[in-house]
Chains A and B, each alone.
Chain A
Amino acid sequence: MTVAPDTNPASQLSSEMFESPTAYAAALEAFLSTDERATPYLGYRPHSLEDSAAHLTGLQALLFDTGWSRLGWPESAGGLGGDPRFRAAMFQTLWNLDIPIPEPFTTLEILVPVLLVFAPHLSDALLPGLLRGDDKWAQAFSEPDAGSDLASLRTKMEPDGDGFRLSGQKVWSTFGHLSQRSVLLARSGGPGHKGLTMVLVDLDQPGIEVRPIRAEDGENHFSEIFLDNAWVPADRVIGTLGQGWAIAMYMLQWERGAWGWLQQGRFHQRLQQAVELGTPNPEFAQQLGHAYALAAALRLTTKQTVERLAREEQLGPEVSVDKLLLIDAELATWDAIRAYLGPRFEVDDTLQWLRHEYLFSRAAPIYGGSQEIQRTLVAQRVLGMPRD
């Protein structure tokens, strides 16, 4: 692990903090809890997704300018070096202080590690803007007829001069209507896995229309993206033509592993809020204990995954275990919180945000590869059960 000296004049980082993620986390916690620029974010409760996006962009800028969020990313891409554990430690620290993680960070965690390997020219050029919040990206894989069965997707990608034209429809694109760009999977060749290519496309162009979808909790979590002869230059291809499926599979280890770590921090934080708000009652002891035990199991399992990613180990299908544990922990956590807080959870105006998170938690078995798909992967690829 090499770490670059931080030459940014606004930097808050000193060399000791680079020694271990634990030292870094402690210093970051001290900074965020004392520096008045961080005050607006402590215990911040958004009124809406759009409000949250606007407000937390300021936090992204603060963390970037002071150097904190640059640790864990390579220097070539505007980072300060260090392995992904530093990023994981940052997320844990934000949750500890009840600071919501800006949505772009979660997207970053999934998309940028892929770019670093398959399209370093893009990560080198674009990571700083993304980290700082100047630029926001979405992910557009699913289509109306390609959900769990991703290999059947149909968005067309055809060569045109020194680039490509895209036509089709994408759906369930998180944060799509607030993003300037999207990583997108399209069909550049024949049917099946091998005809797919991954690109980074600009959303603010005439051939593209983005329409938000209002989710159960009333927020515009997702978007549909309509592409009609949209343009993407050749240097925006991630990897090579036809490599899209392989890259998407590579991405999963981050989506399932690093994401799990980020989320366990949230579950611990929300359980903390619940025990602060609630009145002790043995009737709920087992439900809370069960949720906590699953969150702890998730924490240690994803901790190991993050450490393996930090050692640059290639992860296999076993990361589906992380995702499945996350589903169990997420559902159990919110069920327990709702039960423990009782009627207050349902009617207290100040807990609206908590109710939104509850509703959104119901999506855990669906997003990022459904529970059914993950279980099938674990059974067949990890445990060697027979395939039909």
Chain B
Amino acid sequence: MDLSYSPEAEAYRAKVRAFLAANLPADWQGLGALAGDEAEEWADRWRDVMAKNGFLGITWPKEYGGQGLTKLEQVVLGEELARARVPQYRAVDTTNIKMLGNTLVKWGTEEQKQKYLPRILSGEDTWVQGYSEPEAGSDLASVHLKAELDGDEWVLNGQKIWTSRGMEGTAIFLLARTDKTAAKHRGITFMLCSIPTPGLEVRPIRTLTGVEEFCEVFLTDVRIPVANVVGPVNEGWKVANSLLGLERGEEAATNPIYFKAELERVIQLARDKGRINDPIIRDRLAWCHMKVEMMRFLGYRILTAVLRDGALGPEASISKLFWSEYHQVLADLAMELLGPEATVREGRRPYKHYRADEPGAANSSNSWIDVFLMNARSGTVYAGTSEIQRNILAENILGLPKEPQTNS
């Protein structure tokens, strides 16, 4: 584990700090301090500022609008933005820039890169994700969305689900089954499809907290030109998975910063509620602090491995388990501190519906009720359930035998 960054990375850090100092209001508390539409609008505007100043897609080659920087600088940027309590971009850019943009950089044809990457950065295109299906959740590779070749078009029939911010999408990237005879992880192809397209319908799903964060996508005879395939036909699983390394490496570095800011809010809540001198509460807060610190060092290890090997090791499963299970304990504590107020909804609701909310949020009951019901509880389900992570951990890190077929 190497805890020091290169001089180039540190120089970049200084540049980011200067940019932030020049562009953020002096009394900036964090995006969490803004409520509802105001936060959404601010995030939209901020994204434009980031784009104009060359802080989006910084690892992409310059010819496509990027900065040609390394993954380490991307991590430095993530850290500095998290510390400054500003998001990198809009929520939907997670799938737009982080997922599709990076995938195209790695796998796209010259034509695809030239066509799409600048439009992604400018915000003209907004890509959403079409991976999961009703029958392909944890077992993501069992993709059923049927794709049949007809001349120079693929014809798609089937359904996708859990498309985050689907209603904001101007286009969707899909995993489709192009070879039914091949083994499960083969025979999948990564494709691009604009919205609207005849035969494609996007419907919102109402979540537990009443927010329409996810969508279902129905496809009936949707025609996609063969030129919209990313990477080789039938290699879509590999294309989709190649992203995980970078994504998780950056997360590992920024997660502890967001969780730390969130814990500070809980400590403030304990003060506000007059519980800060309660030895049990202090004990639990100290426990949370330890977890966040451990998360930080775990993050460094993962990051070091990603930067060294260019790929993510199975340690990422430890990280996923660690923060998701920590977050449920923290959310329980916050609810307990709220006391009777915890059942009455008041004030601003979270901007983010996963992991820690944006920093700067007020300790309103609404902000914690939603974090408790949605952000924290869903953490052990999305992006690989805790059960899946433990299997990976047991089998790939500890070398335990594969789960036996019990018949007791």
Contact = CB atoms under 8 A, between A and B. Distances in A.
A388 B280 contact: no
B360 to A, nearest CB: 33
A349 interface: no
A291 to B, nearest CB: 16
B406 A388 contact: yes
Nearest to B407: A388
Which range contains the number of B residues in contact with the other chain? under 10
Interface string A353-388: 000000000000000000001001100000000011
B406 A376 contact: yes
Contacts of A377: 408
B207 interface: no
Contacts of B406: 376, 387-388
Looking at A286, A373, A376, A388, the one whose CB has the most chain B CB atoms below 10 A away is A388
Interface string A266-308: 0000000000000000110010000000000000000000000
B279 interface: yes
Contact of A373 (B279, B405, B407, B408): B408
The SS class assigned to the A binding surface is helix
Contacts of B280: 282-283, 286
A376 B407 CA distance: 10
Contacts of A376: 406, 408
A373 B405 CA distance: 14
Interface in B73-97: none
Looking at B279, B280, B406, B408, the one whose CB has the most chain A CB atoms below 10 A away is B408
The SS class assigned to the B binding surface is loop
A87 B406 CA distance: 38
Contacts of A373: 408
A388 B279 contact: no
Which range contains the number of A residues in contact with the other chain? under 10
B281 to A, nearest CB: 11
Nearest to B408: A376
B285 to A, nearest CB: 14
B405 to A, nearest CB: 5
A149 B407 CA distance: 11
Contacts of A283: 279-280
B387 to A, nearest CB: 14
B407 A387 contact: yes
A377 B406 CA distance: 12
A190 to B, nearest CB: 18
Nearest to B405: A388
Nearest to A283: B279
B181 to A, nearest CB: 27
A387 B405 CA distance: 10
A108 B390 CA distance: 42
Nearest to B280: A283
Interface string B385-408: 000000000000000000001111
A365 B406 CA distance: 20
Interface in A228-282: 282
A283 B279 CA distance: 7
Nearest to A285: B280
A368 to B, nearest CB: 16
Nearest to B279: A283
Nearest to A373: B408
A286 B405 CA distance: 40
Please provide the 6 A-B residue pairs with the shortest distance between their CB atoms, ordered closest to farther. Answer: A283-B279, A388-B405, A388-B406, A376-B408, A283-B280, A388-B407
Interface of A: 149, 282-283, 286, 373, 376-377, 387-388
Given A283-B280, A377-B408, A388-B405, 8 more contacts: A149-B408, A282-B279, A282-B280, A283-B279, A286-B280, A376-B408, A387-B407, A388-B407
15 contacts: A149-B408, A282-B279, A282-B280, A283-B279, A283-B280, A286-B280, A373-B408, A376-B406, A376-B408, A377-B408, A387-B406, A387-B407, A388-B405, A388-B406, A388-B407
